[in-house]
Structure 1
Amino acid sequence: MVRVALLFIFLNIILIDVQAQYVFFPNSGTITYERKFHVQNYLKRNHLNKADLDTWDKMFVDEVVKNGPMEIGTKHSLTFYDGETLFETIKEDYPSNYRSALNYLPVLNDSKTYKNQKTNMFSRLIHFSGDEILLEDTIPVVKWRYTDEYRNIAGYDCRRANGVVQDSIYVVAFFTNQIAMSGGPELIQGLPGMILGLSIPGWNINMFATQVELNNKSISGQLTKSKKVQPKSKKETRELLRRSVYEWMEEDVFQKQWSKYLF
């Protein structure tokens, strides 16, 4: 009887081991995210309380606070395949009061971001004043600290990690190791799995996956069809934007604007 019991236990161990070998951890697919920006809280905290806010800025901010939405919701997609990701905005027809409020969004709204983990490089296509800039540089490093908080997002079990990017921007991420690839929206990554939830408390932004579709779509790193648009480093892009768009800004104010291009 003892031998039969031992044999039964042995066979179960083998069966569990065989099943473990065939657990499917996908490394390609498309994730749809919904990003919510609480515009009213952000403007009241970052603009209306500024003593040096000039008359024109105050007029525009007051208009958005008075007639703009409480919250802006936008949709985005992240395609991932064998160490590469492509993050982009899903184009929609927004209400008219969205458009003015989107100007105050502390991250880029209409851009494409390609990341290649094998080369540790990213490319980001930026639109401004009818022109295109192709920013290309190394992927920013996020300093992570794991927590014991867990949440289910889009059917995947996720663990919370707190991080700091650009030495000052605090982020909260929920990642799952059920998707084998280390990745995430925007330029955020560096955890042992895919980030399905992302929160930036200082910017009043939350982004959570609503759908995960597994597929074998390959990714192209070519973000623009224009041959005139050549890649520029962070330093070159910063100098170009400073000179052509934000020349009138004080340096500390410009630095805050610049941070959204590196997020």
Structure 2
Amino acid sequence: MKKLFLFIALVISQLAMAQMQEGVIDYEFKVNMHKGLGKDQENMKGMIPEFRTSKNRLYFTPTESLYTNIEEDPEEINGNIGGGNVQMRFTRPQMDLYRNFEASKFVTLTDFAGKKFRIEDSLKTSPWKFVDETKKIAGYDCKKATFFNEETKQEVVAWYTEALISPAGPQGFWGLPGLILQADLNDGSTLITASKIELKKLGNEIKVPTGGKKVSNKEFKKIRDDYMKEMGMQPGSAGPRIMIRTN
């Protein structure tokens, strides 16, 4: 009789998990730092590690999601370039990205150029193309979809699972018939992969970001691109910040 009760409890637990469509996903955010260097920065390859890895977290339900950084201490590297002592400090801007799929809107709170912005606008679906390929990620069967991001000039490959019906995903990627568990930008230049998936009933983890200067997505892009042009950087580029101090 005891074994029967245990069996029934196990079946009920498995059925509950099968129906659970909300929870938390931790992602590994891996950037190939060497690919991001220009031809005039080849001498920095000996100082900068080839890969920079950080962590992000996604809270999701079928109707909304919140993607955010997992707090980590900035990484510092000391070295020598051209006979001078150099200290590099890797940091990431704040990023709280909220999406409401029912209302088709998003709110992003981010730091940029020393200022905090709250970007509020409508969600726009990317022109995904479906590919007949599959693979497993974090124990889930995933299907492949791709699109070319005209703004950032990046080829995006996404792997999504239909076992989780939320259209959510990491970073700015969403809109597939299942949750995105991996996003590959420009053939490994940036790779965002689910490392841990916990299905559970969420409380108040998903909150709409507040604070910062409210702007539309179009307004923020102009602010960002104008600043990056002024700094001699490629408009639309993203990733960890590298602060260099020379002694």
Length-normalised TM-score, structure 2: 0.75
Distance in 1, matches of 2:35 and 2:200, equals 38
Residue 38 (structure 1) aligns with: 32
Residue 185 (structure 2) aligns with: 200
Q: Given the superposition, is the C-alpha separation of residues 132 and 203 from structure 1 closer, same or farther in structure 2, using an over 3 Å criterion?
A: farther
Q: Is the 8 A contact 1:25 1:180 kept in 2?
A: no
Q: Is the 8 A contact 2:74 2:89 kept in 1?
A: no
Amino acid at match of 2:22: S
Q: Is the 8 A contact 2:106 2:122 kept in 1?
A: yes
Residue 186 (structure 1) aligns with: 171
* Post-superposition offset of 1:241: 3.7
Deviation string, structure 1 residues 110-141 (Cα, Å, up to 9, x no partner): 31111111121111111134421111122232
SS in 2 for 1:93: coil
SS in 2 for 1:237: helix
SS in 2 for 1:143: coil
Q: Is the 8 A contact 2:142 2:162 kept in 1?
A: yes
Structure 1: gaps spanning 5 or more residues? 1-20, 49-57
Aligned match for 1:258, one of 225, 236, 241: 236
Residue 53 (structure 2) aligns with: 73
Q: Is the 8 A contact 1:139 1:187 kept in 2?
A: no
Q: Is the 8 A contact 1:174 1:198 kept in 2?
A: yes
Distance in 1, matches of 2:61 and 2:171, equals 16
* Post-superposition offset of 1:236: 2.2
Distance in 2, matches of 1:81 and 1:219, equals 11
Residue 208 (structure 2) aligns with: 222
Distance in 2, matches of 1:242 and 1:196, equals 29
* Post-superposition offset of 1:260: 4.3
Aligned match for 2:104, one of 105, 120, 124: 120
Q: Given the superposition, is the C-alpha separation of residues 37 and 101 from structure 1 closer, same or farther in structure 2, using an over 3 Å criterion?
A: farther
Residue 8 (structure 1) aligns with: none
Root-mean-square deviation (CA, aligned residues, Å) is 2.9
Residue 216 (structure 2) aligns with: 233
Q: What count of residue pairs does the alignment treat as equivalent? A: 215
Residue 3 (structure 2) aligns with: none
Query: Normalized per residue, which structure has more strand?
Result: 2
* Post-superposition offset of 1:23: 8.6
> Which is worse superposed, 86-95 or 175-184?
86-95
Amino acid at match of 2:75: P
Distance in 1, matches of 2:43 and 2:67, equals 32
Matches within 5 A, 1:60-139: 61-62=41-42, 64-97=44-77, 100=88, 102=90, 110-139=94-123
Residue 26 (structure 1) aligns with: 20
Length-normalised TM-score, structure 1: 0.71
Percent of residue pairs identical: 25
Distance in 2, matches of 1:101 and 1:163, equals 33
Residue 171 (structure 1) aligns with: 156
